[in-house]
Structure 1
């Protein structure tokens, strides 16, 4: 045996390719080998940007004695949770059932068929009070396997049955007879705003206590709700504005280079966990763009949001953009500082480092004091640059004068490692964010990176019949995409179509949704992994861990669930196409809101956002005729509408189109452009000016 991780698409797996542990990737071969050797499987699950994953790797997986013990008694499998979220979700549920908690690194011991019987997270190299060492755990598990096999198998079987029941209960029924009760849905979204208000941290922004994660799906819901006329619309605007302001003014946001860290260790957002994820930044960029489109608020003005969004878009393109198109998954939390790898080393500053980077000594001193960098005996202490409040005009001007110099000085440091695997669904979210931001921020240059990413996804991940989840170096491989990949790519393609009018993206979204409907809906139930087709592929180990059950996790967490993304993409497609079937799928999924809301609105943020679009119609705008700036002004007005879920189609009169919304739409008699607004299955008289279109879109229903 030897380590089999070299050449894997996942940077996390490649990080472990030189370990003395005989790692292999997750798959049926590993479980077959465990059965042949009659030993348990040790599953180690993490991701490339995970700080404590690195710690455990250095302490235990690089230790020859620990590796010898692992290799002798177990088949050792490494899993990148970002590459295989289907695997991670099942075994994380097992860990939480056994221990009451979870996290990464996730350490799971299973039978040779994949059923879990013991789990934990980080284990130290030496015992601590109340916590055994990793090698003590290995010894205890090996002894249980040898001496108490029947009890181990009984425990594994009982846990698999329980997990199978849990995941089966979350499957969503999809029916053609769906319909939504407008009054009930209106009440549900209003209740969600009220529930969020009760959990708001009014001192520091955001919701709940530390650790604080960006509540991105919830913020999208609040921004959409704020665009309406419900009695709770202003409450939603306040909640969204305070959260966005708190994050953008905190250490979570990189005030020099843009982009958001994954979460804050502290309630006041002052101490970030420095890894930066594509899915966080794509969502926050889109929310900020939509906040600008909404007009902002006194607590968080649109101009401040525009700057944060613009910096974040630049960061995504510069730091995560790949040469062949597409976006890398993440930047590591750790980086080198003074000869040692430390968390956040790339981002923190001492007072001397900052003043040396600024030519004007007075400005340098004022900036250092503004950011709270210490003097005197603590002057060597390094800290992230943040103020925790809105800057005055003078402070903002001073930072703007020196931002480029400070950023240039920082680029001389050793940057954090980048996980260059391309995840299809996350790249779909990035395409949607850049396409929306291009119009909301007045930055048409952002369309280019969005189009390049979509081109990579369509050309490399898609073979015309299926979508692969990951690629690396321009080559896709591994498992077929999960529901979140198909739906995320469709979401991105539809947003790019609205921004460009290029019908290839509408056509691709239509194809993705057709395959998704065929693959992920079986026997009237929706699941996260393909249930039909040649790659109906929860691996044997995952199937066994759930006692053969299919699985769906409908909860929105740090990113939207596959189910809620599918609902949004299906609803948008129905608005373009008039497809009752696609709308019925969306309504069926939105029908699961009451069950999710029982666990709190933060479990259903994106689905609540889709519900807002459903309540709004959504509005359908077809623009035909004219050319160049004249038609562009109408398109810009349509895309500037904050009405939730509005779809925009642009075409030529009399030219066949794959988009039914454009059918039979004549231009003005003089050939000029006209915009047709349709709502609730009825179309209004066309208008030819941006002012007229604005009035149509703003008119009460």
Structure 2
């Protein structure tokens, strides 16, 4: 037996490096070996924070008898879905098509040519062993049927598909999306649909943007009520998530999802991509409402990201595991006795009432997940108790951390931290965003192309996919908007040039992999949002902002074309187009372009800049310069100071109003923008 995972950069693959299974990483050598031995390929896909991936590993992949069956009858490939989202995407599509569902671990049997012919997810050991025997017999005795099944799957999934509409969503489609979301909204518990409930980060951003457009327009007789509903749904969902067990009430940050409809019991892994997006969503909600809870949660989540996920190189790790000491959630749950042991009898009883910790428990074994359904009546006591509980929890065995840096998710983190740092006057958060940006530019960008991952400062071999280019560009442009540092704009431009040259599908959309990427049995393309913005909608947002800064019609037109699927999704499935709809809201304003010019550090410059950050529509192409126009940003060219004083230029399509020089005048100008 020769396990080939010891040199992997993926922590998930390294978790399997000592298995008795003869694992290959995803590579052509594995398929060559399958052809040589004339056996099927067993593809196992998962990720390091996945609870059921660990369960299947302990039950089957660490079991000598099961491993012998795998090694004898198959060539076995282990894939980290976070490192190879392209491989995950095409085989997940096959799994969903063949079984009606999907999930991780994903277990797929392939022909030596890579065609899937049997798919599933988690299998208990006895069932998995029977499956291995059954697939082995089918391969030996019913080969023609197996190959025909694989061929049919490949043919079906390779057929052209499109969600294209007649153009980007307009106001009617965006308003229709709010009505459809209203039909799916859980008015009692917040969120959309039933259990399990995932954090709808992108939908929250859309609802806040849609409400802001209504406010600027003054609303109509029926429209005003509808738009108030948009903000109500956003606030209701954000508040319910923040007060339930899915939010870490003493450490900050959100778990992956809630297993119930009331946001009580989470699936405990914490993902960078969720928390990065939620920092931005809660920050934008605070900007719209001034809500103290939104501000607190945004900052606590940002601080947890820095404390819990930041790597020595300045990037952000992918995730924290759901398990510790072999048990899901053990690190996070409490009993009344444990609270009293840490806090004493009086504070322990008070904390139990405050956090909903009962003798019967809300989780397993009489333990409870902490909730905060109402604000504490004694804030000083709450802070003392929270600090003590966090210190005590720090003494527990923590969950494992997947410390690989994923480019796309770090792009999301840069955007979230930059906006939160600027709006909440936390320059340390902006600096963390800046450090992550440097890592991506200096380590992940290799010969003008983006690599997907790095670990310990060493870049991986996996090519960047569309979301890597798009989300990194988005993050760099957000960082530029809050710092005015010009160097981030040309980097974003380089990345977007690759998007326009290497990813187009010829119909106005984009594939998820480049035209020179490894060829799989189908080229992945999914314009719908999932746990992160789809690569296509993320690209649309970055292209639109970059076009606003540079006046490039090429980038704007590409953004408009890429938003076409959101037109169809707006009326049918807006929950899967939240980011596309958010970008479409931006498009309705032009997008707006705002140039702030003034000496760096001058009070007037800072005040105008902050006013723009607080008052301009989300997605505004915002830039900052000293009035000389030497930054290389076209939007700043020929934008001088006004009689030596700092000024703000508000533009649409590079056509600008007369400059204003006071925050009040800028605020009034921005309030008058029509979408």
- Compute the TM-score of the two structures, normalised by the length of structure 1: 0.92
Deviation at 1:685, TM superposition (A): 1.0
Q: Is the contact between residue 12 and residue 419 of structure 1 (CA under 8 Å) also seen in structure 2?
A: yes
Given the alignment of the two structures, is residue 528 of structure 1 paired with residue 501 of structure 2, yes or no? no
**Distance (whole Å) between structure 2 residues aligned to residue 451 and residue 458 of structure 1:** 11
Gaps of 5+ in 2: none
1:216-273: CA deviation from partner (whole Å, max 9, x where unpaired): 1111111111111252321110010000000000000001110000001111011100
Q: Which residue of 2 aligns with 1:570?
A: 543
Given the alignment of the two structures, is residue 243 of structure 1 paired with residue 240 of structure 2, yes or no? no
Q: Which residue of 2 aligns with 1:147?
A: 141
Q: Which residue of 2 aligns with 1:486?
A: 469
Given the alignment of the two structures, is residue 220 of structure 1 paired with residue 220 of structure 2, yes or no? no
Q: Which residue of 2 aligns with 1:505?
A: 488
Q: Which residue of 2 aligns with 1:192?
A: 177
Given the alignment of the two structures, is residue 391 of structure 1 paired with residue 383 of structure 2, yes or no? no
Q: Is the contact between residue 424 and residue 461 of structure 1 (CA under 8 Å) also seen in structure 2?
A: yes
Deviation at 1:31, TM superposition (A): 1.1
Deviation at 1:623, TM superposition (A): 1.1
Q: Is the contact between residue 170 and residue 554 of structure 1 (CA under 8 Å) also seen in structure 2?
A: no
Q: Which residue of 1 aligns with 2:317?
A: 328
1:193-229: CA deviation from partner (whole Å, max 9, x where unpaired): 0000100111111000001100111111111111112
**Which residue of 650, 660, 670 maps to 1:687?**
660
1:291-334: CA deviation from partner (whole Å, max 9, x where unpaired): 111124xxxxx111111111100000000000011100000000
Given the alignment of the two structures, is residue 357 of structure 1 paired with residue 342 of structure 2, yes or no? yes
> Does the residue aligned with 1:83 lie in a helix, a strand or coil?
coil
Matches within 5 A, 1:12-27: 12-27=12-27
CA, structure 1 residues 630+466, in 2 after alignment: closer, same or farther (shift >3 Å)?
same
**Which residue of 443, 456, 475 maps to 1:473?**
456
1:34-92: CA deviation from partner (whole Å, max 9, x where unpaired): 11111100000111001011001000000001101100110100011111111111111
Q: Is the contact between residue 286 and residue 433 of structure 1 (CA under 8 Å) also seen in structure 2?
A: yes
Given the alignment of the two structures, is residue 698 of structure 1 paired with residue 651 of structure 2, yes or no? no
Gaps of 5+ in 1: 127-132, 297-301
Q: Is the contact between residue 479 and residue 488 of structure 2 (CA under 8 Å) also seen in structure 1?
A: yes
Given the alignment of the two structures, is residue 315 of structure 1 paired with residue 289 of structure 2, yes or no? no
Q: Which residue of 1 aligns with 2:526?
A: 553
Q: Is the contact between residue 255 and residue 385 of structure 1 (CA under 8 Å) also seen in structure 2?
A: yes
Deviation at 1:371, TM superposition (A): 2.0
Q: Is the contact between residue 107 and residue 120 of structure 1 (CA under 8 Å) also seen in structure 2?
A: yes
Matches within 5 A, 1:88-103: 88-103=88-103
Matches within 5 A, 1:254-653: 254-296=248-290, 302-336=291-325, 341-358=326-343, 361-375=345-359, 381-387=366-372, 389-392=373-376, 394-521=377-504, 523-524=506-507, 526-532=509-515, 536-539=516-519, 542-543=520-521, 546=522, 550-597=523-570, 599-628=572-601, 629-641=603-615, 643-653=617-627
**Distance (whole Å) between structure 1 residues aligned to residue 650 and residue 353 of structure 2:** 53
**Distance (whole Å) between structure 1 residues aligned to residue 174 and residue 361 of structure 2:** 53
Q: Which residue of 2 aligns with 1:111?
A: 111
> Does the residue aligned with 1:620 lie in a helix, a strand or coil?
strand
Q: Is the contact between residue 5 and residue 25 of structure 2 (CA under 8 Å) also seen in structure 1?
A: yes
> Does the residue aligned with 1:315 lie in a helix, a strand or coil?
helix
Q: Is the contact between residue 171 and residue 525 of structure 1 (CA under 8 Å) also seen in structure 2?
A: no
> Does the residue aligned with 1:323 lie in a helix, a strand or coil?
coil
Given the alignment of the two structures, is residue 8 of structure 1 paired with residue 15 of structure 2, yes or no? no
> Does the residue aligned with 2:24 lie in a helix, a strand or coil?
strand
Q: Which residue of 1 aligns with 2:162?
A: 170
Q: Which residue of 2 aligns with 1:299?
A: none
**Distance (whole Å) between structure 2 residues aligned to residue 241 and residue 663 of structure 1:** 40
1:274-305: CA deviation from partner (whole Å, max 9, x where unpaired): 00000000000000011111124xxxxx1111
Q: Is the contact between residue 86 and residue 513 of structure 2 (CA under 8 Å) also seen in structure 1?
A: no
Deviation at 1:397, TM superposition (A): 4.2
> Does the residue aligned with 1:169 lie in a helix, a strand or coil?
coil
Deviation at 1:556, TM superposition (A): 0.3
1:382-418: CA deviation from partner (whole Å, max 9, x where unpaired): 211103x2325x1544322322111111101111000
1:572-618: CA deviation from partner (whole Å, max 9, x where unpaired): 01111111110001100112223333541011110000000001222
**Distance (whole Å) between structure 1 residues aligned to residue 171 and residue 590 of structure 2:** 13
Deviation at 1:370, TM superposition (A): 2.2
Q: Is the contact between residue 42 and residue 77 of structure 1 (CA under 8 Å) also seen in structure 2?
A: yes
> Does the residue aligned with 1:82 lie in a helix, a strand or coil?
coil
Q: Is the contact between residue 222 and residue 236 of structure 1 (CA under 8 Å) also seen in structure 2?
A: yes
- Compute the TM-score of the two structures, normalised by the length of structure 2: 0.95
**Which residue of 172, 194, 197 maps to 1:209?**
194
Deviation at 1:654, TM superposition (A): 2.3
Deviation at 1:172, TM superposition (A): 6.2
**Distance (whole Å) between structure 1 residues aligned to residue 629 and residue 408 of structure 2:** 33
